[in-house]
Amino acid sequence: MKLDENARYLESHEWARKEGDEIVIGISDYAQQTLTDIVYVELPDIDDEIVKDEPFIVVESVKAASDVIAPMSGVVVAVNEALEDAPEVVNEDPFGDGWMIRIEPSNPDEWGDLLTPAAYKKVVEEEEAAH
Amino acid sequence: MNEPVIYELSAPGREGVKLPHLDVPASDLPTELLREELPLPEVSEIDVVRHFLRLSQQNYAIDKGMYPLGSCTMKFNPKINEVTARLPGFTSIHPLQYTNTAQGALYLMYTVQEYLKEVGGFAGVTVQPAAGAQGELAGVLMMHKYHLDRGDTQRDTILVPDSAHGTNPATTSMSGLRVVQIPSDARGNVDLDALQSQICERVVGLMITNPNTLGLFEEQIEAVVKMIHDCGGLVYGDGANMNALMGVMRPGDVGIDVMHFNLHKTFSTPHGGGGPGCGPVGVAEHLVDYLPGPVVTIDLQLSEEDAPFFNFYQPAKSIGPLTGFWGHFGILVRAYTYMRMLGAEGMKEAAEHAVLNANYLRSQVKDVYKVSHDRLCKHEFVAEGHFDAAPDVRALDIAKRLIDHGVHPPTNYFPLIVPEALMIEPTETESKQSIDNYAAILRAIATEATDNPELLHAAPHNTPVRRLDEVSAARDPILRYQHA
């Protein structure tokens, strides 16, 4: 399982990364592995408001449709339109070209609530062990 | 062998039907409606018959073998249902004829309503919704309107356990309401602490599937209902798994306010292509006026000895009609027939056998397949389709390999809360021999998984087409037939 050391995580397998004043959001390598082949990503619109801990994107794989939960609150300033035609990029490069949206955070302090890579790694290991 | 599509069987000038002589004045279509080219296949009657017979022989159906799709309740549909549904008195009536000339049909609809009220423990039932999903929509719209009518306008949230049917959150979104998911506890019940933390004055209600999608009876259903009622919310029961309860437990008796029935699951009407759906909705007293109509009522009965006169009636605060005319009447004839053939005792026995069969099959495979929440189940159980000794084998491989063994796979990858889920529902209509056979196949596949995993990865081997490329089909779907 790959991890992005610069990102912070949610237990529900989303990541957030600081880039300047903005936050880039996607799903983790473990999430894409578990979902298997992703066939569709339903992205929000630019200027949409997203709220921490609430679903804001739906990802569909051949296995399941799954909500993506917002790691932080804010206003969407960019979406990765390339995913509309090539959702498989999320499988191939979840932390890079497979990013989903970029937001301007409304409460930058929420960053502190997110899991560090080490803490997230532990969550995944516990989840694996439970099965 | 691959059957060509009917367009590929077409030969110019071949025809299957000769139209009779015109016995009314001819009238030309307006030229703007005429098309130069109408790409319809030209085939004779025998071409059509053979084509569709061959397709039907390649199909798999409950009439061919066991079909244990969890949550779908693929029970056998008795053939007598088709006999009664084809009686000329039912097939020859017109939806616009006067109700005093269709009293038999109205009597049947009324009786189905009454039977479902009894089975579910409800004060009112509508048989209008065209399917379970529409029944759900009706239920949630009624719940919301009930709050709004009392001036309770701040409620905008439906709580949905993560063991609920996938349609429940979809229905909530369709109704314009907010979904909040409630996790399950270690025994597979709704986590009461998590539920408590979401209780507030924004709650329209809870949608609960009982037995849930793990096949488990919600052990704390009364506590769950009380928590929702105490905050002013209502409880929607998803009746999709009613096959496990009919005649044994009545959802209305534990305080469920609204519930839909799936006639194709519980009452043996056809699934999918066999006919339209029907998702009747039952409600407690305080919601009777909100039912989507028309419902059938007794308009007039002079004395107990006199035959009642039935009529259609739109409830006072109804959320409005959901289907054209009077709903899917032919399906009600089939469900009525099923209920009459079984009787009250028979319906109870059917539920008991559904539960017995599921527990028997679970006991026959659980040493080989990990079973989620290993306790007595109801009509279905969820096994995990993965083995420590064969890490590359997944539930999908097992499902495809089952096809090679001549049986239908179970539901897979649902519920989402169980990894590599195989959701298995044998139903009451399978014999011990047929369940033993299925168990033996599942066990054989578990052995194949470790001895020869490639056999599973490449399955199915014995079908007209091999493993389909579901990923490309979903990413780049071709939705119209294209001439080669």
Q: Identify whether the C-beta of residue B216 lies closer than 8 Å to the C-beta of residue B244.
A: no
Nearest residue of chain B to residue A84 (CA atoms): B475
- ipTM (interface pTM): 0.74
CA distance B472 to chain A (A): 8
Cβ within 8 Å, pair A63-B470 = no
pLDDT at B298: 95
Q: Which domain holds residue A32?
A: 8-125
Residues of B in contact with A88 (CB under 8 A): 475
- pLDDT tens for A81-113 read 999 999 999 999 999 999 999 999 999 999 999
Q: B68 and B74 in contact (C-beta within 8 Å)?
A: yes
Angle, vertex CA B475, rays to CA B471 and CA B476, nearest 5: 115
Q: What domains are there in chain B, each with its CATH number? A: 6-58 (no CATH), 81-340 (3.40.640.10), 352-472 (3.90.1150.10)
Within-domain flag for A3: no
In a domain, A21, yes or no: yes
What whole-number percentage of chain A has pLDDT above 70?
99
Pairwise CA distance, residues B329 & B322, whole Å: 14
Could you tell me if B4 and B41 are in contact, meaning their C-beta atoms sit under 8 angstroms apart?
no
pLDDT value of residue A127: 85
* Closest CB to B474 among A62, A64, A131: A62
Is A131 in contact with B384 (Cβ distance < 8 A)? yes
Instruction: Give the pLDDT of residue B484.
Output: 61
Chain A residues whose CB is inside 8 A of the B384 CB are 131
Contacts of B360 (CB under 8 A, 6+ apart): B432, B435
| CA–CA min distance A48, chain B (Å) | 17
Distance CA B312, CA B293 (A): 8
- Structure tokens belonging to residue B254: 């534990």
* Contact yes or no for A39 and B471 at CB 8 A: yes
Q: How far is B460 from chain A (nearest CA, A)?
A: 18
| CA proximity to A98, closest of A82, A114, A111 | A82
Domain-located, residue A2: no
Q: Is residue A69 part of a domain?
A: yes
Q: How far apart are the first and last CA of chain B?
A: 18
- Contact list in B for residue A62 (CB cut-off 8 A) is 470-471, 474
Q: How many CB atoms lie within 10 A of CB B475?
A: 17
- Beta-carbon contacts below 8 Å between A and B: 21
Cβ count within 10 A of residue B151: 7
Q: What is the DSSP string of B61-128?
A: -TTTS---BTTT------THHHHHHT-HHHHT--TTS-GGG-HHHHHHHHHHHHHHHHHHT-SEEE--
Question: Which of B184, B387, B411, B475 best tests the A interface by mutation, with the highest count of A CBs <10 A?
Answer: B475
* 3-class secondary structure, A23: strand
The span from the CA of B147 to the CA of B145, in Å, is: 5
Measured between beta carbons, which residues in chain B are less than 8 angstroms from residue A60? 474
Q: Say what the pLDDT of residue B139 is.
A: 98
Judging contacts by C-beta atoms under 8 Å, the chain B residues touching residue A40 are 474-475
pLDDT at B160: 97
For residue B134, what is the enclosing H or E element?
Answer: helix B132-149
Of residues B384, B419, B471, nearest to A37 (C-beta): B471
Q: Which residue of B has its CA nearest to A62?
A: B471
| Token output for B14 | 């071949």
Contact check, Cβ <8 Å, B471/A62 = yes
| CA–CA gap between residue B228 and residue B218 (Å, rounded) | 15
What is the percent of chain A with per-residue pLDDT over 90, rounded to a whole number? 85
Residue A128 pLDDT level (bands cut at 50, 70, 90): confident
> Contact B330/B90 with Cβ under 8 angstroms?
yes
Predicted confidence at residue B474, as pLDDT, reads 87
Probe site for chain B from A11, A63, A91 (most B CB atoms < 10 A):
A63
Distance CA B392, CA B375 (A): 28
Q: Let me know: does B209 contact B241? Beta carbons within 8 Å.
A: yes
- The total number of structural domains in chain A stands at 1
In a domain, A1, yes or no: no
- Count the helices and strands in chain B (H runs, E runs): 14, 12
Residues of A in contact with B396 (CB under 8 A): 63
* Closest residue, chain B, to A131 (C-alpha): B419
The pair of three-digit structure tokens given for residue A60, joined into one six-digit string: 């569909």
Burial class (CB in 10 A: 0-12, 13-18, 19+), A57: buried
Instruction: Tell me which chain B residue has its CA closest to the CA of residue A87.
Output: B475
C-alpha B190: how far from chain center: 23
Within 8 A of A66 by CB-CB distance, chain B residues are 416
Q: Specify if A131 maps to a domain.
A: no
Whether residue B464 has a cis bond before it, omega within 30° of 0:
no
| ω into B410 cis (within 30 of 0) | no
CA-to-CA distance for A129 and A57, rounded, in angstroms? 28
Q: What is the CATH number of the domain that holds A48?
A: 2.40.50.100
**Residue given tokens 């759900």 in the structure block:** B136
User: In sequence order, what are the residues at sequence separation of 6 or more whose Cβ sits closer than 8 angstroms to the Cβ of residue B379?
Assistant: B73, B211, B215, B241, B243, B244, B351, B354, B355, B358, B425, B427
Q: If chain B, 484 residues long, is cut into consecutive pieces of 10 residues, what is the mean pLDDT of each piece?
A: 87 88 91 85 94 92 94 95 96 95 97 98 97 96 97 97 92 94 94 97 97 96 98 97 97 98 95 80 98 94 90 96 92 97 97 98 97 93 95 96 97 90 97 98 97 97 90 87 72
User: Which residue in A has a C-alpha nearest to residue B370's C-alpha?
Assistant: A131
Give CA–CA dist B140/B160, Å, rounded.
Answer: 12
Q: What are phi and psi of B421, to 5 degrees?
A: -65, 135
Q: Which residue has the tokens 């409950």?
A: B62
Contact A63 B474 (CB under 8 A): no
Phi, psi of A66 (to 5 degrees): -135, 140
**What is residue B417's predicted lDDT score, i.e. its pLDDT?**
87
Q: What is the rounded distance in angstroms from the CA atom of residue B229 to the CA atom of residue B235? A: 8
Q: Distance between CA atoms of B406 and B410, rounded to whole angstroms?
A: 13
Instruction: Please list every residue in chain A whose beta carbon sits closer than 8 Å to the beta carbon of residue B416.
Output: 64, 66
Task: For residue B384, list its beta bridge partners.
Answer: B421
pLDDT at B39: 80
Q: How far is A125 from chain B (nearest CA, A)?
A: 15
Overall pTM > 0.80: yes
In the numeric block, which tokens belong to residue B396? Answer: 């999908």
Quote the pLDDT of residue A131: 66
The pLDDT value given to residue B275: 65
Phi, psi (5° rounding) for residue B481? -65, 135
CA dist B437 and A90 (Å) reads 42
Q: Identify the closest residue of chain A to B384 by CA–CA distance.
A: A131
For residue B482, the model assigns a pLDDT of 77
DSSP classification of residue B19: P
| Per-residue pLDDT reduced to its tens digit, A16-30 | 999 999 999 999 999
Instruction: Considering only the beta carbons, identify the residue of B396, B414, B419 that sits closest to A131.
Output: B419
Q: How far is A88 from chain B (nearest CA, A)?
A: 9
Identify whether A106 is part of a domain.
yes
What's the token pair of residue B95? 């939806």
Residue A59 forms part of a structural domain: yes
Cβ contact (<8 Å) for A37 and B384? Answer: no
* Residue B24 to residues B20, B21, B27, B28, B211, Cα–Cα distance (Å): 11, 9, 9, 13, 59
